[in-house]
Structure 1
Amino acid sequence: MLNFTYSSLINAPLETVWQFHERADILQILTPPWQPVEVVRREGGLDVGAMTEFKIYLGPLPVTWLARHTECDRPYRFTDEQIEGPMDYWQHRHQFSEDNGQTRLTDSIRYEIPLAAVSEPLMGWFVGDRLRDMFRYRHEVTKRECEQLGA
């Protein structure tokens, strides 16, 4: 099992950062333009039971990624888990905490790539680098947008 964490400080109130994540178009906003990802549907907001379906392209092959929210503690955290997709396991926890008048946003992911015994030593670094690129982008967008809203 692999773990990934990315955290940043946003100069905006906790409630502002949470509400930004509740936007109906949040997935389109936070998907990096270089990623071959299509948002197919999003139902239920951030609540437990909410569903999100993506189509991701692994080269020319489209793969469905379906995730369900399994935890929601407004405005502190929500968790989604892959129920269908390219990973053998995927759990993504989004955490929001007050930090000296600002908001600490932390994304924590536990995941397992297929054929882990062979693929993790060979490709684990690559997946980690792609996650770091994606979450750097997501946090930069969140910071920019929320700091403008909170100003």
Structure 2
Amino acid sequence: MIYKIHTKQSLPISKKEAWEFLSDPNNLKEITPNSMKFEVLSGADKKMYAGQIIEYFVSPLLGIKMKWVTEITHVIQDEYFVDEQRFGPYTFWHHKHFIKEIPGGIEMEDIVHYKLPFGFLGKLAHAVFVKSELQKIFTFRREKLNQLFGEIK
């Protein structure tokens, strides 16, 4: 089964400022919970481009450290980018990031499609803890971005 996460957030910043922050893989650590022990290993030394490979260490469960490799597959400057997992905990991970101007700032939209391995056990894991852990990560991200940039009221 393929699952979906869809979030939107408005921030009182310019499109350029949003793009500069959100498209820099080095900023991902700042908007990821410390419990994930997120660490960029390689690939974040250049501005984002299609074909870019970025390697991370992450500890998504019980402190178990694993490597996550993503490829940036699509980039339209100041508009959107797509990252896809090449190696990591999911069978499939496709994450679209959109930025659009709205009155008073920007709207940031994330759409993630993902699939877990292990068939029935993966479905069970999703129901028991994966879904809630992903929700916590996106909630943390929302709160951190509001701390950094403020909120549109």
On whether the aligned pair clears a TM of 0.5, the verdict is yes
Instruction: Give runs of ≥4 in structure 1 deviating > 4 Å.
Output: none
Gaps of 5+ in 1: none
| Residue 46 of structure 1 pairs with residue 48 of structure 2 | yes
Taking structure 2 as the reference length, what is the TM-score of the superposition? 0.84
- 2:118 and 2:42 mapped to 1: Cα distance? 29
> In the alignment, which of 116, 123, 126 is matched to residue 124 of structure 1?
126
Identical-residue share of aligned pairs (%): 22
Deviations 1:63-120 (A, max 9, x none): 2110010000111110000011110000111111112232111111100001234422
Partners of 2:50 and 2:72 within 8 A in 1: yes
Please, which moves more after superposition, 26-35 or 139-148? 139-148
Shift of 1:2: 0.6
Count of aligned pairs between the two proteins = 147
- 2:66 and 2:91 mapped to 1: Cα distance? 14
SS at structure 1 position matched to 2:78 = coil
- 2:102 and 2:14 mapped to 1: Cα distance? 9
Superposed CA RMSD in Å reads 2.1
Residue in structure 2 matched with residue 34 of structure 1 by the alignment: 35
TM alignment of 1:1-151, pairs within 5 A:
1-23=2-24, 25-43=26-44, 44-57=46-59, 58-59=61-62, 61-120=64-123, 122-125=124-127, 126-147=129-150
Partners of 2:36 and 2:63 within 8 A in 1: no
Residues 24 and 61 (structure 1), Cα distance of their counterparts in 2 relative to 1, 3 Å cut: closer
- 1:4 and 1:22 mapped to 2: Cα distance? 19
> Residue type of the partner of 1:130?
E
- 2:63 and 2:19 mapped to 1: Cα distance? 35
Please, which moves more after superposition, 38-47 or 110-119? 38-47
